[in-house]
Amino acid sequence: MAPVAAGGGIYLLGTHHTPHYDNGLFGEHGTAAVDLKARLSTALLGLTLIQLGLALWMYGRVPGARSAPRSVPLGHRVLGFLIFLFSLPIAYHCLVTYGIETTSPRVTIHSFAGCALYGAFVAKVIAVRSRRLPGWLLPAMGALLVLGVALLWYTAALWALNGDSAPGFTSV
C-alpha cells in the first residue's frame, strides 16, 4: 500500500499543481536548467549502473568474479542512499516546473515513470526490511529501479542532450 501511496501522491501533486516554467535548478533557468538536469541525470544513471553491478556481485551473479568482500553490501547500501538523495533535486525540479504532463507520448511516459520510480523505491525499502516477503521481490524491485532510472533518462536526458530527439520518439 505504501508504494502505491508514494507514487500516487506524487501523481496527485503533479496533476493538481500549477507548473512554474521559470523555476530554476541550482541557479540555472530555462534551457540551461534542462541541460544541467540532463547532465545530472546522466551521472545518476551511471551511479545506478554501478549500484546494479554491486548488487550482482553481492549476490554472486557476476560470472568469473570472486565472492564479494564484506564491504560490497555496505557500499551498495550507501550508494543507494546517495542515488536517492541525488535524484531529489532533479525530481523536485520536474515536479515543480512541469508537474505531470501528457502532451506527447514521451512526456507522458516520463511523467508516469517518475511517479512509479519513487513507488518502486518505497517497495524496495519495504522488501529490504521484511523477512516475510518472497526472496525474489527484492531483486525484482531493484531491477524496477534500474529500469525506471534508465527510462527516465531515455525520455528526458537523452532527449535533451541529443537535440530534442531520441530513437522511437518524434519531435514534438
- pLDDT tens for residues 105-132? 999 999 999 999 999 999 999 999 998 9
C-alpha 28/C-alpha 40 separation (Å) is 13
Mean residue pLDDT of the chain comes to 93
Domain assignment of residue 111, yes or no: yes
Domain assignment of residue 169, yes or no: no
Cβ distance 32 to 117 under 8 Å? no
Q: Tell me, what's the pLDDT at 172?
A: 53
Domain assignment of residue 105, yes or no: yes
pLDDT digits (tens, 9 = 90+) for 143-156: 999 999 999 999 99
pLDDT digits (tens, 9 = 90+) for 38-80: 999 999 999 999 999 999 999 999 999 999 999 999 999 999 9
Domain assignment of residue 152, yes or no: yes
The domain tally of the chain equals 1
Domain assignment of residue 90, yes or no: yes
DSSP character at residue 68: P
> Could you give the percent of the chain with pLDDT greater than 70?
99
Domain assignment of residue 112, yes or no: yes
Print the domain residue range for 147. 2-161
Domain assignment of residue 122, yes or no: yes
Domain assignment of residue 148, yes or no: yes
Question: Can you give the length of the chain in residues?
Answer: 172
